[in-house]
Amino acid sequence: MTSEGIASDQTEAVLGDYDVIIIGAGPAGLSAGIYASRAGLECVILEKGVPGGQVITSPMIENYPGFAEVPGMKLMETMAEHARRYVDIKEGEEVLRVRAGEKFELGTSSGRYTCKAIILATGSSHRKLGVPGEEGMTGKGVSYCATCDGFFYKGKEVVVVGGGNTALTDALYLVSIGCKVTIIHRRAEFRADQHLQLSVKQHKIPVMMDTVAEEIVEGEEVTGIKLRNISTGVVKTMPVNGVFVAVGEVPSSQLAAELGLEMDPGGFITVDRSFRTSVPFVYAAGDVSGGIRQIVAAVHGGAAAALSCFEDLMNPYYRKI
């Protein structure tokens, strides 16, 4: 482990020394906290905002086992309440810097923490279109998760904006549950894998190439989307009930970069099957590690990362790495 490039103020108060510090209190971080604490590790969860992550913005969750239908906020409140039985969650405690040495040092606006291991559960954020109406209509017709919200648009007109694997997968999923789908893509060709492009053709999903979203028509709910053809400059408004945005994710991997972790070209942290990263005693789970970005997958990743951490800290041979 290296300590180059990361400065810390040794005069800062040490607010706590732990076996493992979990950064982020979304589904992955909360799950990691429960499993780490139950394994006997001294741990804390540091969360820059409030527990829940992106899930709290979802009006309704219908694909999390055990909850046929539950608001995202309610689901995460339940998870956080459960986690607090085992582990302290420090809200509003953003980790601003991290240094690897004999122990890890984490600097926050409040002071300094030290630990033997770190679990990064910092999540990711959806890349936005940045057009008028998008923010105001989020949760009211604008969605970033087809598998989360698609059911509400069965039999309705929707568009999927994007041209990569996620966009085409979302379109195929929405068609499979009975939505009337059109794909909007700003380029002349898709970037998605060929088998997905073939599936779109086989399902006869309408596609509008060389087209960009200019505005989402606001009301009590989405009523339409204003589109502009890049080649002709023609602008038209398409009546729709839903807009599914699939133009990419931005992982919150700044701390991973400071630690020198291996990441893929998109900035997602590379992990093995046990959620170990390229640096010993650093683990990553949830959206920041890529993969299937679903709540159930994040919960699994958090639990697995915590158990891997426990195994490594208890292994005297691994400890010498």
Are 234 and 259 contained in the same domain? Answer: no
Is residue 2, in this structure, part of any structural domain at all?
no
Q: What is the pLDDT of residue 5?
A: 35
Q: What is the pLDDT of residue 74?
A: 95
Which position among 19, 43, 115, 148 bears the catalytic label?
148
Are 225 and 256 contained in the same domain? Answer: no
Per the structure, the count of domains in the chain is 2
Continuous segment of H or E residues that includes residue 3 = none
Provide the CA 33 distance to its chain's centre, in angstroms. 18
Domain span at residue 210 reads: 128-245
Please indicate whether residue 170 is annotated as part of the active site: no
Please indicate whether residue 43 is annotated as part of the active site: no
Are 174 and 40 contained in the same domain? Answer: no
Handedness of CA 210, 216, 217, 222 (dihedral sign): positive
- Please state whether beta strands 124-126 and 249-251 pair in parallel, antiparallel, or not at all (unpaired): antiparallel
Nearest partner of 19 among 37, 46, 35, 6, judged by Cα: 37
Please indicate whether residue 149 is annotated as part of the active site: yes
pLDDT tens, N- to C-terminus, the chain (321 residues): 433 333 345 556 789 999 999 999 999 999 999 999 999 999 999 999 999 988 887 777 888 999 988 988 999 999 999 999 999 999 999 999 999 999 999 999 899 999 999 999 999 988 899 999 999 999 899 999 898 889 999 999 999 999 998 899 999 999 999 999 999 999 999 998 899 999 999 999 999 999 999 999 999 999 999 999 999 999 999 999 999 999 988 899 999 999 999 999 989 999 999 999 999 999 999 999 998 888 999 999 999 999 999 999 998 776 554
C-alpha 124/C-alpha 36 separation (Å) is 23
From residue 196, alpha-carbon distances to 86, 134, 161, 171, 182 in Å are 44, 27, 15, 10, 15
C-alpha 29/C-alpha 108 separation (Å) is 18
- Please state whether beta strands 242-245 and 142-143 pair in parallel, antiparallel, or not at all (unpaired): parallel
Domain boundary among 245, 273, 296: 245
Are 221 and 316 contained in the same domain? Answer: no
With contact defined as beta carbons under 8 Å apart, do 217 and 226 qualify?
A: yes
Is residue 103, in this structure, part of any structural domain at all?
yes
Are 133 and 241 contained in the same domain? Answer: yes
With contact defined as beta carbons under 8 Å apart, do 152 and 145 qualify?
A: no
Q: What is the pLDDT of residue 321?
A: 43
Q: What is the pLDDT of residue 6?
A: 38
Q: What is the largest CA-CA distance in the chain?
A: 67
Instruction: Please report which residue ranges of the chain form alpha helices under DSSP H.
Output: 27-38, 72-84, 134-137, 146-149, 165-176, 194-202, 254-258, 295-314
Q: What is the pLDDT of residue 9?
A: 55
Are 175 and 203 contained in the same domain? Answer: yes
Which position among 19, 43, 115, 145 bears the catalytic label?
145
Are 69 and 147 contained in the same domain? Answer: no
Q: What is the pLDDT of residue 176?
A: 95
Compute the residue count for the chain.
Answer: 321
Q: What is the pLDDT of residue 36?
A: 98
Is residue 189, in this structure, part of any structural domain at all?
yes
Are 103 and 143 contained in the same domain? Answer: no
**CATH number of domain containing 66:** 3.50.50.60
Which position among 19, 149, 287, 312 bears the catalytic label?
149
Q: What is the pLDDT of residue 7?
A: 39
| Residue found under tokens 């292994």 | 315
The type of residue at 41 is: L
Are 224 and 258 contained in the same domain? Answer: no
